[in-house]
Amino acid sequence: MTPRHTLIMWTIVGVVAMVVYFFFDPATENFFPGCVFLKLTGLKCPGCGSQRAVHSLLHLDFAAAFRYNALLVVSLPVVFFLLVVEMLRTRRPHLYRRVHSQAVIWTIVAIVLAWWVLRNLL
Amino acid sequence: MASYYILENNQQVGPFTLEQLATRGINGFTSVWTQGMANWVPASQVPELQAVINRPQGFQSPPPYQGGGYQQGPQTGPAPSYGYNSSYAQQGPQAGPCPKTWMVESILVTLFCCLPLGIAGIVHASRVSSAYGEGRYADAVRASQDAGKWTKIGFWLGLIGVIIYILIYVFIFGAAIIANS
């Protein structure tokens, strides 16, 4: 698969997923898969609530999305930026280097771990 | 249009288009890299480059000296070394653009696949970054493959979980319909 094919495939997957999550609410419909980690341990993982948060975001209910998974809402603009940098990896190698520095990567790890712990304590 | 980086005297130069490579004059032993490749490879192994290899345009670098005398001919000399990765990793500080760190993909797996494997992927991304920063290009490539492996395991486990869940749901739903009819 060429990068172009990969991009087309993920765009289709993304659009289909957005249609499904727009018309069906994971908070009330029970055919959406739940989190395995939550079922096994009773603790929330960093991604718990993402499906409900996406549904809320698609209905422009940012407050509800933030309550379901604050990390998801906060990281979406960051993820968008990172994807752009990823596509420019060979054309702008220095930008890629600067964004994928040790400081950035470990900050992300720290935020995810802190979010994982805090959401189970709060 | 694909663009290629090549190694000249162990220095990375580029990117070049196919036309630029043709006028530059590369041979089958020239190390090349383009997007999608994990490692540098000899130009002779890249199908798209066959048309531009050994074109008598512009200055053409001589083929690598392989030892042996004229009377033996190039074919009977020792085979040219293809140990490009290790040798260039030691000689050049940066033998190409930084390999994929898989950081974005790992973050997405962390957020959507409900699996802590994404975090393992992010941690591996730091190994790619540090190896590349220290000029250990071959190590960076290897770390990149590791990072990709963890991220893909997380992704596929998540997807398999979803598929199993949907199958169970369809099975129960179907059984309920049959029981009611």
ipTM score of complex: 0.85
pLDDT of residue B114: 62
Q: Which residues of A touch B (CB under 8 A)?
A: 2-3, 31, 33-38, 45-48, 50, 69, 71-72, 75, 79, 82-83, 86, 89-91, 93, 96-97, 100-102, 105-106, 108-109, 112-113
Residue A13 to chain B, least CA–CA distance (Å) = 13
Establish if B133 belongs to a structural domain: yes
User: What residues contact residue A89 under an 8 Å CB cut-off, 6+ apart?
Assistant: A96, B35, B97, B98, B100
Task: Yes or no: say if B80 and B29 are a contact pair by the CB < 8 Å rule.
Answer: yes
pLDDT of residue A85: 92
Report which of B142, B117, B105 is spatially closest to residue A100, judged by C-alpha positions. Answer: B105
pLDDT of residue B56: 52
CA A55/CA A36 separation, integer angstroms: 20
- Please provide the DSSP assignment of B93-141 as one string: S-SSSPPP--HHHHHHHHHHS--THHHHHHHHHHHHHHHHHTT-HHHHH
Beta bridge partners of B33: B5
Report which of B95, B154, B162 is spatially closest to residue B122, judged by C-alpha positions. Answer: B154
Establish if B119 belongs to a structural domain: yes
CA B113/CA A50 separation, integer angstroms: 9
- Sheet containing strand B41-42, strands side by side: B11-16, B4-8, B31-34, B41-42
CA B73/CA B101 separation, integer angstroms: 45
Chain-centre distance for alpha carbon A100: 18
Establish if B97 belongs to a structural domain: no
Tell me which of B9 and B43 has the higher pLDDT. Answer: B43
Cβ contacts of A72 on chain B, cutoff 8 Å: 111
Domain span including residue B145: 103-180
Q: Which residues of B8-47 are buried (b: 16+ CB within 10 A; e: fewer)?
A: eeeebebbbeeeebbebbbbebbbbbbbeeebbbbbbebe
Domain span including residue A81: 3-121
Establish if B98 belongs to a structural domain: no
Unique residue bearing structure tokens 């074919």: B75
Identify which of A82, A106, A112 has the shortest CB distance to residue B110: A112
Residues B111 and B65 in one domain: no
CA A47/CA A115 separation, integer angstroms: 10
| DSSP summary character for residue B64 | P
Residues B87 and B15 in one domain: yes
Bridging pattern class, strands B41-42 and B11-16: unpaired
Task: Yes or no: say if B79 and B22 are a contact pair by the CB < 8 Å rule.
Answer: no
Residues B52-106 have pLDDT tens digits of: 776 654 444 555 555 554 444 444 444 444 444 444 444 444 467 888 888 888 8
Q: Which residues of A92-121 are buried (b: 16+ CB within 10 A; e: fewer)?
A: ebeebbebbeeebbeebbeebeebbeebee
Residues B149 and B172 in one domain: yes
Give me the number of domains chain B comprises. 2
Q: Confirm or reject contact between B124 and chain A (CB < 8 A).
A: no
Is the pLDDT at A24 greater than 60? The verdict is yes
Is the pLDDT at B113 greater than 70? The verdict is yes
Cβ contacts of A33 on chain B, cutoff 8 Å: 161-162, 165-166
B:23-82 residues touching chain A, CB 8 A cutoff:
34-36
Residues B54 and B87 in one domain: yes
Residues B17 and B76 in one domain: yes
Residues B55 and B120 in one domain: no
Residues B77 and B135 in one domain: no
**CB-based contact B114 A37, cutoff 8 Å:** yes
Establish if B96 belongs to a structural domain: no
Residues A61-84 have pLDDT tens digits of: 999 999 999 999 999 999 999 999
Give me the number of domains chain A comprises. 1
Unique residue bearing structure tokens 């990281």: A75
